Amino acid sequence: MYARFIDWFRPLAGRGVISGDHLTILLAGVVGLAAGVGAAFFGTLIEFFTDHTFGLAAESRLDPATSWWLWTLVIVLSPPIGMLVVAWVTRTFAPEAMGLGVPEVIAAVARHDGVIRPRAAVVKILASGISIGMGGSVGREGPIVQIGSAVGSAAGQLMRLSAKNIKVLVAAGAAAGISATFNAPLAGVIFASEIILGSFAVESLTPIVLASVLADVVQQHIGEHRFDPAFKDLEFQFAGAWVELPSYLLLGLVAGVAAAGFIKVLYGLQDVTERWIPDWRKRALALGAIVGLVGAFYPVPPPAASEDSQTASLMHLPPIMGVGYPVVDHALHLTIEGHEKPSSKKEFEFFSGMFRMAPERAVVVPQDRLWNELLWLAPLVLLKPVMTGLTIAGGGSGGVFAPSLFLGATLGGTFGLLVNLVMPAYSHAPGVYAIVGMAAVVAGATHGVLSAILIVYEMTDQYEIILPIMAAAGVSSVVTKMLETDSIYYKKLSRRGEFISRGHDLHNLDHVMVRDVMVRHFPTLRPGDNAAQIIKIARENPAIESLPVLGADGKLIGIIRAEDLHRVLDSDLTPALVNAEDIALRAPLSVLPSANLIEAMRDFGARDVETLPVEVGVGESRRLVGLLLRADVMRRYRQEMLKRH
């Protein structure tokens, strides 16, 4: 029945009954629904593997006879076994499912017309579920982006859409994955446009928005977060206090350095471990064992915890293993004893015809235990990037978005505790700095400032502190780009020789004017010059591929291109009988000296010429002042790109 429907539907699209753009919008809705279900299933798969490893180990700790040795054994052995299985699965069935996920999607859009093998989605969901569920220190957002994108690509390929529309469906799948994972539909749209497509083109937004919305609707029915933000019951405010603002800007600077360090550690560990342990099997076991040992011996419960939070219910998991959201939740709820503020928002839950207030989730740190909390939290800032790097280097499959959130939250929480210890009068609760730190590190690592701001806002529902979030994210992005020109995703591509230019890269040319690049001294032709004279002048000026023809009044009549001359030479006409006026391209497009090179590139494409006349004035006062060569524009573009890298 399914095959009959496809066979009936394809001809409608082929005959134009349904246009490619309209069909793309319809398919984007299907992709959004599928990605929402896929995200829920992926979360269930991770929970299944987690429960059958860490869950059993945690239960064993209640038995004094087996508590220590069984706990340690399970925690140490789970990551290497998981990495070995995942490395074999990905190498055997879909090598593109190895590692992060997002770079492969970016490459598919930029290099392969959006084509992603459907097999990649199946392998990715299984490999990442095992990797995360058995203690790999990676995130689940990269995998779900790749899974959603693979669904979008498969839908476009099935309906034989154009490459342009398949790319849009790939981005729609990525948006749907982010939306369903974080309960963040706005962030999904921005992430797909900013990171995956590298463009905010209006024609691509409708399918992306539709997919993101429908994926979140599915999430609200069967997903992990339902109607709540990922990290709920946060009640912080920034009331425009000038004394606090410098600390947020300083945090942005520190976060930028941390983000650049994360990128360098992630890929540096891959290089070092591949050189030291060439065999992938031994590498998976060795690096997995290191992750397991660190997880087993790091203190599990934090010094302070709330009664009702992810911290209290899930802190039996090793802090540096898995996605790490319990630690993030713990850091976001940190506050100092005596600084708690009365609740300004009343959250109620409908239950048995009654309303009841949501329980308190604040993690209140007593004044005399600030150093204890700091000493527990601070090492995680260094350990998480290393453990994530070891997991990826060992063959694990997963994303780096959650580790970036983890790094930002722990860095921000540590920073907040230090500020409260050193300058309590000029600080806020450590949880505020943890939220701001998340946005700052993500903005720096991904080079996606808008995505970082929106994702953290939607994950925390903390619009009240959007100003510190924006300020720190902006500072961090600038600092990271100074230290590491490629984002954490683009770095993987550039390391294998793929330098991808996106739509926003053309902005390197918007400040370069035509007058900066144009040729000011050039040969001209008169209308009566014959073909022999034209050929003589062309040979004397080989760099200029199109020669301008000027009338007796000095005004431009047209240009003669190389192909115009070739047509004359290939014909039976006598060159001496052919005049410049006869073969000139009349009314050629011209540009102003004050136009930028982006506008000039558009005009090059409009007439498919290698040279554009540069004119000033209007009407009868128009006059030719230069020539703009396509080769010179491309040379300047390469120079601007090299400055960036």
* pLDDT tens-digit readout, 573-626: 776 778 888 888 876 678 888 887 877 877 776 666 788 888 888 777 788 888
Which element (helix H / strand E) includes 556? strand 556-560
Higher pLDDT, 66 or 267: 267
Tell me what pLDDT residue 411 has.
Answer: 96
Q: Phi-psi region for residue 187, left (φ > 0), alpha (ψ -120 to 50) or beta?
A: alpha
Tell me what pLDDT residue 138 has.
Answer: 92
pLDDT over 90 (residue 251): yes
Tell me what pLDDT residue 543 has.
Answer: 81
CATH of domain 18-222: 1.10.3080.10
List the domain boundaries for the chain.
18-222, 244-305+318-341+358-496, 506-643
Q: Record the tokens describing residue 513, joined without a space.
A: 């004017």
Tell me what pLDDT residue 60 has.
Answer: 56
Average pLDDT over residues 12-19: 51
Q: How many CB atoms lie within 10 A of CB 528?
A: 10
Q: Which DSSP string do the residues of 338-359 spell out, in sequence order?
A: T-----SS--EEEETTEEEEPP
Angle at 260 between CA 330 and CA 400, to 5 degrees: 55
Tell me what pLDDT residue 352 has.
Answer: 34
Task: Round to whole Å and give the CA distance between 589 and 494.
Answer: 37
Residue with tokens 């939607």: 458
Q: What is the mean pLDDT of the chain?
A: 82
**Reduced to 3 states, what is the DSSP secondary structure of residue 433?**
helix
Tell me what pLDDT residue 478 has.
Answer: 94
Tell me what pLDDT residue 298 has.
Answer: 84
Average pLDDT over residues 536-550: 85
pLDDT band at 312 (very low <50, low <70, confident <90, very high): very low
Sequence-distant (6+) residues with CB within 8 A of 47 are 133
CATH of domain 244-305+318-341+358-496: 1.10.3080.10
Higher pLDDT, 382 or 12: 382
286-290, 318-322, 544-548: range with highest mean pLDDT: 286-290
- pLDDT tens, position by position, 340-359: 554 444 443 433 333 333 34
Report the C-alpha dihedral over residues 291, 294, 299, 301, rounded to 10 degrees.
0
pLDDT band at 103 (very low <50, low <70, confident <90, very high): confident
Task: Round to whole Å and give the CA distance between 66 and 59.
Answer: 10
Share of residues in the chain with pLDDT > 70 (%):
84
1-15, 275-289, 312-326, 600-614: range with highest mean pLDDT: 275-289
Tell me what pLDDT residue 281 has.
Answer: 92
Average pLDDT over residues 203-215: 90
Cα-based distances in Å from 631 to 518, 610, 627: 11, 8, 12
Share of residues in the chain with pLDDT > 90 (%):
27
Q: Do domains 244-305+318-341+358-496 and 506-643 have the same CATH topology?
A: no
Average pLDDT over residues 59-74: 64
Tell me what pLDDT residue 59 has.
Answer: 60
Q: Phi-psi region for residue 145, left (φ > 0), alpha (ψ -120 to 50) or beta?
A: alpha
Average pLDDT over residues 162-185: 90
Residue pair 316/296 in contact (Cβ under 8 Å)? The answer is no
Report pTM.
0.79
Which element (helix H / strand E) includes 470? helix 466-483
Tell me what pLDDT residue 621 has.
Answer: 78
- The strand pairing partners of 397, in sequence order, are 99
Tell me what pLDDT residue 642 has.
Answer: 65
Task: Round to whole Å and give the CA distance between 348 and 351.
Answer: 9
The mean-pLDDT minimum among 11-20, 147-156, 256-265, 340-349 falls in 340-349
pLDDT band at 3 (very low <50, low <70, confident <90, very high): low
Closest C-alpha among 374, 137, 178 to residue 262: 137
- The strand pairing partners of 350, in sequence order, are 355
Residue with tokens 């997919």: 211
pLDDT band at 381 (very low <50, low <70, confident <90, very high): very high
Burial of residue 277 (CB within 10 Å: 0-12, 13-18, 19+) is middle
pLDDT band at 464 (very low <50, low <70, confident <90, very high): confident
pLDDT over 60 (residue 155): yes
CATH of domain 506-643: 3.10.580.10
- pLDDT tens, position by position, 550-566: 888 888 888 888 787 77
